[in-house]
Structure 1
Amino acid sequence: MNNDPQPEVWMRGPIAGVPSLLQPVAHALLQAKEEVTRYLQGFDDRLLWEKPGGMASVGFHLQHMAGVTERLFTYAADKTLSAEQLNGLRMEGAQDPLLNAAALVAAFGSRVDTAIQQLKQTDETTLTDIRYLGRKRIPTTQLGLLFHAAEHTQRHLGQLLVTVRLLPLLSR
């Protein structure tokens, strides 16, 4: 499935400026960015909102991966979500004729770039500091939120890649 001669991001060494304990988060997010870019190149926009067998659409996965990264990194920074972020959450998966795969891939890539910058500014000594998730203010840690952003993104990436491969077969 991997036609890229380059090794996976984690095998290329540390990401400059990212604290050692946060390297796995950076590696996972950058790997997702690369794979999304590679596997959605030339994607047929007519399939963007299709839900094969009731699965989530490619458009939803792209929106959600960008959105969940932004939201979890916001909580990790000990901030609450803005009205714009809450609206974005509500709109994930809603068909928007103005959106295409290239725009959603670019938005996800930009979100990953912003997340990497936040990682570079994160003090490792604060990783076990308490942070709160959502309106219910579920207690967790800064590291827990950052790790979950990477893990959750990878989970959706896997689902996205299966859907991207399946859709052209079903549309024949």
Structure 2
Amino acid sequence: MGKAPPEYWLRGSIEGIPDLLQPAAHALLQSKLEVYKYTKSFDETLLWKMPHSRASVGFHLQHIAGVLDRMLSYAQEKNLSEVQLKELKNEGVPNAKITTHTLCRNFDAKVEEAIDYFKKLHNTDLTSKRSVGRQELPSTLIGVLFHAAEHSQRHIGQLLFTVSVLQTEDNEEKSALL
């Protein structure tokens, strides 16, 4: 088995991305990689289980894609659509029709959309003012995009922990039945 490639931030610049957005792009691409890594052998029956009343794996996967989608709207000075508001309301609501793979693919697509958007920007654009949320709280374009990246990394950590807890509990339950 070959040596794993380094984390994205150690792979060099991503062509077409402004220098100041390289860390955000690296964080999003790392999140995309880790979503697949941490859910690779995840038991689908545990997707909506909430260990110790904490957020489910399904919630984390929906939420990181949803936040990225909403941050891209704010970055582009758009109001959230009815679809986005409905998706926000439904984050974490168990749905047997949704699979782990589908949720991972949704996040994957949002990361690619973000990377494409980053490539349309220039460093001089990044300090332009942006409003966030219904309260129109003040930020800048770079602030919105960095939040999207750091928020995805935060939830990836929570996802990893939740997956490991669920798998440990599931293995213990199966062992107890033997």
Provide the TM-score with structure 2 as the length reference.
0.93
Separation (CA, whole Å) in 1 of partners of 2:117 and 2:77: 12
Per-residue Cα deviation, 1:38-73 (whole angstroms, up to 9, x for no partner): 111121110000111111100000000000001011
The answer as to 2:71 corresponding to 1:72 is: yes
Give, in angstroms, the shift of residue 77 of structure 1.
1.0
Separation (CA, whole Å) in 2 of partners of 1:139 and 1:120: 24
Give, in angstroms, the shift of residue 4 of structure 1.
6.4
Per-residue Cα deviation, 1:113-144 (whole angstroms, up to 9, x for no partner): 11110111112211111100011111110110
- For the residue of structure 2 that corresponds to 1:132, the secondary structure is strand
Give, in angstroms, the shift of residue 5 of structure 1.
1.3
| Matching residue of 1:142 | 141
The answer as to 2:76 corresponding to 1:48 is: no
Root mean square deviation of aligned Cα: 1.2
- For the residue of structure 1 that corresponds to 2:127, the secondary structure is coil
- For the residue of structure 2 that corresponds to 1:131, the secondary structure is strand
Per-residue Cα deviation, 1:63-102 (whole angstroms, up to 9, x for no partner): 0000000101110111111111111101100111100111
- For the residue of structure 2 that corresponds to 1:64, the secondary structure is helix
Q: Unpaired runs of 5+ in structure 2? A: 174-178
| Matching residue of 1:14 | 13
Which 4+ stretches in 1 moved above 6 angstroms? none
- Percent identity between the two aligned chains: 49
| Matching residue of 2:176 | none
Superposed counterparts of 1:150-165, under 5 Å: 150-165=149-164
Separation (CA, whole Å) in 2 of partners of 1:4 and 1:48: 30
Separation (CA, whole Å) in 1 of partners of 2:41 and 2:98: 15
- Whichever residue aligns with residue 125 of structure 2, its letter is T
| Matching residue of 1:133 | 132
| Matching residue of 1:61 | 60
| Matching residue of 1:84 | 83
How many residues get paired?
170
- Whichever residue aligns with residue 56 of structure 1, its letter is A
- Whichever residue aligns with residue 149 of structure 1, its letter is A
| Matching residue of 1:34 | 33
- For the residue of structure 1 that corresponds to 2:139, the secondary structure is strand
